[in-house]
Structure 1
Amino acid sequence: MLQDLKDFLREEQLHEDGVQQYALKLIERYEPSDTAKMLQAMTFDGFLMYLSSSEGSIFNPNMVDLYQDMTQPLCHYFISSSHNTYLLEDQIRGHSSVEGYIRALKRGCRCVEVDCWDGPNGEPIVYHGHTFTSKIFFKDVVTVLGNYAFKASQYPVILSIENHCSVEQQKVMAQHLTQILGDKLLKSPLDGKIPIGLPSPEDLKGKILLKGKKIGGLENCMNGVVDDPLMGEVSDEEDTAEIDDDHHRNDSIRHRVKKSKQRLSKELSDCVVYCKSVHFSSFKHSQIHSKFYEISSFTESKTRKHIREAEFVLHNARQLSRVYPSGLRTDSSNFNPQDMWNAGCQIVALNFQTAGVEMDLNDGLFSQNGHCGYILKPTFMRNTDERFDPENPQNRDGYKPLSLSVQVISGQQLPKVNIKEGSIIDPLVRVEIHGVPLDQAKQETRYIDNNGFNPVWHDTLQFTIHVPELALVRFVVEDYDKTSKNDFVGQFTLPFICIQPGTSPFHQIIPSYTFPNTYRILLNPPSM
């Protein structure tokens, strides 16, 4: 009846204003029975259709589409980023393919990486150097980039170059970039004047930016002052930074970390505008000497050391930083990106080909804002006048923790994880909070014995969220096993700020199955 629906909207969905009109709108939109519509009533089928719609989703529909300010400088955004994008498998013998770029770009990735080496017949090739990975041509990568860069998003793509080529083949690289990409390649500041800050994603729509070494500064190029084109040394930070105090690296990796001594061609240098790669010395040095268009790359272990310094957040409010997996991750595994986002690092590069909790978090963060690949950082991470310390978030201005109450009600038709005939799962639901260290937490329901068809829990899990702007919530369903590790069934991850209070189902597509589950979300300030 109409009154029942109104009571549900008011009490469970926390809907306050205009409940009568909203209930009638829902009946008109989702009720399949014309008779029920005439009676201003909603049947059970209509109610399920409403809960399964975007209006009934846990994900606030207002945050699914583009909703953020896209006119801030590039350094004010988290940017969906890929590491060794050409690889489909591991870093030692894996297959290199342009398909890696297609897949990443279709997922909304906005920063892709290419490792360039001298190839046959004067054509640069792409592969993981000093390994047995297969090789592809650089020009094929550029062609794919031109075709797929803006299929999923119109906002800029950053092409991160790891350059190991001779001057001659660098000139060929520059030629391919210029001829194949045409106007998509940004080769000069947008307004033709000496810039005073980074442009915004909105300013750079439809543009591809090259990240790499550059001869001299952007100001020198604009003033017509150009250094000797053969005096710019290619010192690839991705290689030199591999020396990360890990004493267990082997000889082949030690061979790869030798500083590159190639020279840089003017033609390739001229393709770099707003993303000049520079070596990082210290935060004090950067504050005094660094330019806004300079970007430093950090291996994951170096980043973890810098995270302990409060200056890292301020550094990332002024300029871009890129973080990438250690060279020891030969299996293409990933680090936890949340730690790097907590410090304001924008370009946190992951191996997109490797599924797991790390990519779940990446997909969860970038699932908002139209899947455009850019997420505006919280105000306290963009303001250079503030000092946000992720280790002590309670010290920041405007500190206001929130409570999260999740009641896991039931599940329906959960897929089997064992293909043996007659196998039945024992499902449990775990809720994980990923954010600043103080917010890291996980709780789980009881497991339901031998019921994957319609398990019922009615278990309530409680959390306190100290920095809601940075928190991600991950729902995981597993098949409980008392003698071995639980089997994964499905997961769903979303930003905490995108949660819509109320009762709603969430859906996670896993191979050959749709996994629906129902839970209740209650958001209230903690009673402190």
Structure 2
Amino acid sequence: MERNGQSEAISHSLADEQGHQNLEAMKAGMFLRKVRSRSWKRQRHYKLQEDCKTIAYKSNGIKMTDLFKKIFSISDVEVVREGHQSEALLSVADEFPAVRCFTLVFRGRRGNLDLVADSAKEAQAWIQGIRALMENMENMDESTKLDQWISDWFLKADLNKDGRINFKEAKKLLKIMNVDMNEEHMADKSESGTLEDQEFVEFYKMLTERTEVLDLFQDYSSDGKSLSQCDLEEFLREEQLEGEGSYEHALQLIDRYEPSDTARMNHMMSVDGLLMYLTSPEGSIFNPERQDLFQDMSQPLAHYYISSSHNTYLMEDQLKGPSSVEAYIQALKRGCRCVEVDCWNGSNGEPVVYHGHTLTSKILLKDVITTIANYAFKASEYPLIVSIENHCSIEQQEVMALYFRDILGDMLLTNTVDGVSSELPSPEALKRKILLKGKKIENESENPTGEVSDEDEAAEINKDSPPTNGKKSKQNLCKELSDLMFCKSVHFHSFEHSRTSAKSNEMSSFSESKAHKYSKEADFVLHNTRQLTRVYPSGMRTDSSNYSPVDMWNMGCQIVALNFQSAGMEMDLNDGLFTQNGCSGYILKPEILCKRERLFDPENPEERDDYHPLLFYVKVISGQQLPKVKQKEWSIVDPLVRVEIYGVPLDQAKQETKYIDNNGFNPHWNETLQFTIHTPELALVHFVVEDYDKASRNDFIGQYTIPFTNIQPGYRHVHLLSKDGTSIHPSSIYVHIKITEL
């Protein structure tokens, strides 16, 4: 795997002459301005490395002969935006034209990189070049991706860039990669005392030989050398429970994953082919049939869980953190279908968005609405609900109404007659529509001033604090804004009042504490079969932490709003639930939470008519290439795996394996964990890998969350994610799943 050859291959894959020129320009290096704000602009020298996978950069003042110290990978870039598509670049729009500006958006919570080139031509070289390289990396098969990953590590160790590393460097590198090794392991075929890059790849593959997969292969191979089509069919039927049509399925898998042309022609699969299948999306624990849109989207909105964000404008905490349109972009790109906009009077008659009465920064409402218009339907075509907290004067409310109408245009749902019908429309009927949710004037003939009670919203504004002197505040509402509200915010009186008087488009909001209080009442589940309910975090969570959404989902609450900017178990669960069904942001609630004639009680799931508990066995077999969590050279992780079940109270459970001492590279546990699942359709399974520490809290390594109903049985890989929910390829754990009736 020569680096120059690899570069030429990538150049060739970029096809046209322009693509080749872009690549050469990037490899030659270029000065670009890095912009953080109107007052912070610095020149940096950026250069594509010979591997065509990483970009190095250094400050203007450093000598050109010095090594580039700072590097980021093309695989870390999620998207390249052209023009003034960030607050930093908008702030310098009068100084630098859009054709010279672009933004690199990184995966996870890493900040964006805003850059300005000296010319439009240079900007396009980087924009088109990075996009082409990203596409090239996306199209690699798993085997090539692994080779790339190994090569990346080799390049880090090859400090003098001569294409070889000595034993000491190799040992140091492998410790960083969580491997311990002895000199006799070194595969120095050239007997030069060093490893060249291809030797290092072979050496690495020797160390990573999957004996547990080889044993499985031998169990099903008729001749001990390969899996015939019949052998593979038997494996798929007996272990993977892919019984129907598995003969044809076996042939498809051989064609798709077998690297040997000879074996493929003879309808055989080698151990390498089996490993490629097991590590592919088809061999994943997540049933691929449920990753695309598979649910009925024609039921009323109240029958769906809706991915929902709280204080969407915030990047950090809700006391002094920055507000940014980038927070809306990130939430919408993650499939969020309900965003929050807190509107306050701004200077020069321009409404602003921020967390009122705090030190959080302010952004213009018109910029927020423009961002929503641009990104509303990039991740999902299903309706977007915009929840509005309105604290503006009549004059600025008129400006709000004007912006919503003019900027959103045809996307804005305007047929907002009270009541709509006995039920809300379906996600399918509302495709590519934006629904505003907020206060509405009750009845214009009876209330000509447009005065509305602010009691429910006041509770939301003050985040659980009671109104001053116990008095209910009032607010005058602009008719033009009121008329745009599709979902009407109403004060919650009682479940009985809701049952007899509520219109289908009326929605109440509950703080997490109030929602927990009402969850003790059986009517809450029934209420949520008819009405949309929004739940939001307590105002005491000044650090923008989150509550567990599971208890609210168990009650059928649709809009369980979380602080998307705060990583942690709660967002893991949210991501896990909404990863299915095409990442559409809408998940059809289980039938037990939609039927009005049969009331489901999460506290007593065994009382349901169709109660069928399941036994869930997870054999945690091994781990692969777990990331290092402590950067000290001598430190290697001591990993353990914990499996946590979230769902109805009877299902809440967690078990963990023992820890493996000093091996994050290829640890073997071979431990079986067992759970009883009483309500499978509400259960989520959370895999957590940690570095054991007897003296302090364990360090997080990786996680993965999956709805129980989406789990594939058999031998599967769990591909681990970071705290931010982004892939940490090739890290995984290898498990065997068995599900039986109790």
Q: Does residue 320 of structure 2 align to residue 97 of structure 1?
A: no
Residues 401-480 of structure 1 aligned to structure 2 (within 5 Å): 401-480=613-692
Segments of 5+ residues of structure 2 without an aligned counterpart are 1-226
Contact 2:628-2:637 within 8 A present in 1 as well: yes
Q: Does residue 45 of structure 2 align to residue 45 of structure 1?
A: no
Residues 217-256 of structure 1 aligned to structure 2 (within 5 Å): 227-233=446-452, 235=454, 237-241=456-460
Distance of 1:259 and 1:450 partners within structure 2 = 62
Counterpart of 1:177 (choices 404, 426, 441) is 404
Contact 1:297-1:324 within 8 A present in 2 as well: yes
Contact 2:350-2:399 within 8 A present in 1 as well: yes
- 1:228 deviates by 4.1
Rate the CA distance shift 1:403–1:177 in 2: closer, same or farther, 3 A: same
Supply the RMSD in Å over aligned alpha carbons: 2.0
Distance of 1:171 and 1:256 partners within structure 2 = 31
SS at match of 2:681: coil
- 1:229 deviates by 4.7
Name the amino acid aligned to 1:477. V
Name the amino acid aligned to 1:42. M
2:239 aligned residue: 12
Name the amino acid aligned to 1:168. E
Give TM-score scaled by structure 1 length.
0.93
1:520 aligned residue: 736
Rate the CA distance shift 1:193–1:259 in 2: closer, same or farther, 3 A: closer
Which structure has more relative contact order (CA 8 Å, sep 6+)? It is 1
Structure 1 runs of 4+ aligned residues shifted over 6 Å read 253-258
Contact 1:216-1:226 within 8 A present in 2 as well: no
Counterpart of 1:74 (choices 301, 317, 321) is 301
Residues 380-419 of structure 1 aligned to structure 2 (within 5 Å): 380-419=592-631
SS at match of 1:58: coil
Distance of 2:572 and 2:359 partners within structure 1 = 29
Q: Which structure is higher in helix share?
A: 2
Rate the CA distance shift 1:184–1:326 in 2: closer, same or farther, 3 A: same
Contact 1:430-1:442 within 8 A present in 2 as well: yes
Rate the CA distance shift 1:258–1:470 in 2: closer, same or farther, 3 A: farther
Q: Over alpha carbons, which structure has the higher Rg?
A: 2
* Further displaced range: 151-160 or 47-56: 47-56
Residues 251-400 of structure 1 aligned to structure 2 (within 5 Å): 259-273=472-486, 275-400=487-612
1:131 aligned residue: 358
Residues 137-176 of structure 1 aligned to structure 2 (within 5 Å): 137-176=364-403
Contact 2:644-2:687 within 8 A present in 1 as well: yes
- 1:194 deviates by 5.3
SS at match of 2:358: coil
Q: Does residue 460 of structure 2 align to residue 214 of structure 1?
A: no
Contact 1:229-1:266 within 8 A present in 2 as well: no
- 1:354 deviates by 0.1
- 1:238 deviates by 3.9
Rate the CA distance shift 1:182–1:18 in 2: closer, same or farther, 3 A: closer
SS at match of 2:427: coil
Give TM-score scaled by structure 2 length.
0.67
Contact 1:238-1:298 within 8 A present in 2 as well: no
Rate the CA distance shift 1:512–1:304 in 2: closer, same or farther, 3 A: closer
- 1:232 deviates by 2.9
Name the amino acid aligned to 2:388. I
1:86 aligned residue: 313
- 1:499 deviates by 0.6
Rate the CA distance shift 1:439–1:156 in 2: closer, same or farther, 3 A: same
* Further displaced range: 475-484 or 254-263: 254-263
Contact 2:309-2:338 within 8 A present in 1 as well: yes
Contact 1:118-1:166 within 8 A present in 2 as well: yes
Contact 2:637-2:663 within 8 A present in 1 as well: yes
Deviations 1:458-482 (A, max 9, x none): 1001111111111100111000111
1:488 aligned residue: 700
Deviations 1:242-300 (A, max 9, x none): 788x7xx7xxx977998543211101100012x10000011111112111110000000
Contact 2:440-2:452 within 8 A present in 1 as well: no
1:25 aligned residue: 252
Distance of 2:727 and 2:683 partners within structure 1 = 30
- 1:523 deviates by 1.2
1:221 aligned residue: none
Deviations 1:428-463 (A, max 9, x none): 000000001000000011110111011001100111
Contact 1:240-1:257 within 8 A present in 2 as well: no
Contact 1:239-1:256 within 8 A present in 2 as well: no
* Further displaced range: 433-442 or 1-10: 1-10
Name the amino acid aligned to 1:114. V
SS at match of 1:262: strand
- 1:241 deviates by 5.0
Distance of 2:380 and 2:306 partners within structure 1 = 12
